Each structure stands twice: as C-alpha cells, then as structure tokens.
Amino acid sequence: MRYLLEAWNAVVERLRSAKSIELFLDFDGTLAPLRARPEQAHLPAPTRRVLRRLARRPRVRIWVISGRRQADVSGRVAVPGVLCLGLYGWENGGLPSLHDETLRMLAEARSALAKRLDGSAGLWMEDKGAAFALHCRGAEPSAFGRAHAAIEGLRGEFGRWLSVTGGDCVWEVMPRELRGKGDAVRLHLRHARSGALPVYIGDDAADEPAFAAASHGITARVGAARQTRAAFRLRNPSEVGRALEKLDLEVP
C-alpha cells in the first residue's frame, strides 16, 4: 500500500478535475491524536486552520463522521461550514430513533457488562445514549483479558440486536439498526453533485465500511500498516493535516 503523501501524483489530477470534492474525515486518531481519555483529544491548530480554508472553497464539502455524540465532536471541530455527524454518521440534529426492543437490549447489555467488569482497574464505560463504549487504554493485561471475555459474552448474548466493533483500546457496542459509517457515506454521496469525488480518511475498524463506500474516490487509512480497504496510508494525524494542506493547494 502506498503512502498518500509520497504518491500524491497518483491523485492530483483527480482532485484538480473533480466537479466537487466530498471530504469525509474521522475525528479521533485521524484529525486529532489519540489520548488516554476521549475528553483530552483536541484538533491541532494547523489542522483547524486548513479546515477553515477548505470549508470556504465552494467546490469542497466537509463532513466529520465520528463515533462520538454529535454535540461533542461539533464542539471539538468548531469550524464553520464543516458538518459534524455523531454516532457513526447517524446523529444529525437528534438521536436516531430505535425500536423499543433494541433500546431494552442496549440497556440490558450495558448493565450486564458493567456487572461483569465491576472493579476491573483501568476499564471504563462510556454511555452514548444510543450506543456505548468500553475503553481499556492503560488497563492491566488481566483487566484487558476480562474485558475481552466479557465482550465476547455480550456478542453471543446480544448479537442479534447489537454489533461490537473493536477499535484502538476501545470496543464500541451499537444497535444493528445504526448502520455505521459506510451507509452514512453512501447516503450523503447519493445527494452529491454528479462528478463529485469522495475522499475518506479514517483510522479505525469502524472506518472500513466507509472506505468501501468511497472506493471510487480517494481513501486513506491512518496509522500502522494493517489489513484495510483504503487505497492509501497516512502515518498519523499530523500527516493528515499535511495531506489536507496539499489538497487545499489543488482546489482553487
């Protein structure tokens, strides 16, 4: 797989000739470096500056699609003209509506997990209203093992209603009714101008369906080499900032 910054010639013509660019960006681990706790993550100032410039270009539309709640990610991006979507693209101006049974299963799974992990140091749960996450950054290996076992139990018990995605030191548990980032990207591309070029940059397992949804465009996965559906790689969020600066130079 090629590094996007080193293979820029392979994309430059497409960026210049596209009628419009639909730029989709993940937040944590992509725009913002990962931190021990999600509340510590912030958008680096140079990235905010380039997003501000890009958001003013009439040919560019920018979406930040995060697993966070919408208000949370909007507050952290805070760039006029950049639309932030929460809960993997499904929270936009209100929580998505879910079936009563799904909500009941979500609540049951959450309390079952909390009970199983009671007292395991370094693990903590984050309630996102229509989903929840189990964080294990900095946890002892024994606590990590307990978390892994508990998550597998959850998959078995609640797999009909809930899906579990493993990320970087985090498991995200969400209703199957929330269809994830790939469907969210597809939905927005349906409303894009013809000749629009999608660009998707993300770092996580939850971004993989979105790479597939934007595979006719330019896709890049951030972080260490691993199996991915993205066509290019970027090493870290500061390279994402540099890629956005290069992109800014290509769209007058």
Q: Which residues are catalytic?
A: 26
# residues near Mg ion by CB under 5 A? 5
The answer to whether the CB of 82 falls within 8 A of the CB of 64 is yes
Beta bridge partners of 164: 173
The answer to whether the CB of 195 falls within 8 A of the CB of 19 is yes
What residue has token string 């497409």? 14
- Considering the complex, what minimum distance in angstroms separates the CB of residue 16 from Mg ion? 28
Beta bridge partners of 173: 132, 164
- Considering the complex, what minimum distance in angstroms separates the CB of residue 101 from Mg ion? 30
- Which segment (7-15, 23-31, 153-161, 244-252) binds Mg ion by CB under 5 A? 23-31
Which position among 22, 28, 91, 172 is part of the footprint of Mg ion (CB under 5 A)?
Answer: 28
By CB under 5 A, tell whether 172 contacts Mg ion. Answer: no
Which residue of the chain is nearest Mg ion when measured via CB?
A: 29
- Which segment (1-9, 35-43, 178-186, 195-203) binds Mg ion by CB under 5 A? 195-203
- Considering the complex, what minimum distance in angstroms separates the CB of residue 106 from Mg ion? 22
Q: What angle do CA 28, 64, 216 make, to 5 degrees?
A: 105
Which position among 22, 72, 172, 204 is part of the footprint of Mg ion (CB under 5 A)?
Answer: 204
**C-alpha span between 84 and 87 (Å, rounded):** 10
Residue type, 163: S
By CB under 5 A, tell whether 203 contacts Mg ion. Answer: yes
Contacts with Mg ion by CB under 5 A lie at 26, 28-29, 203-204
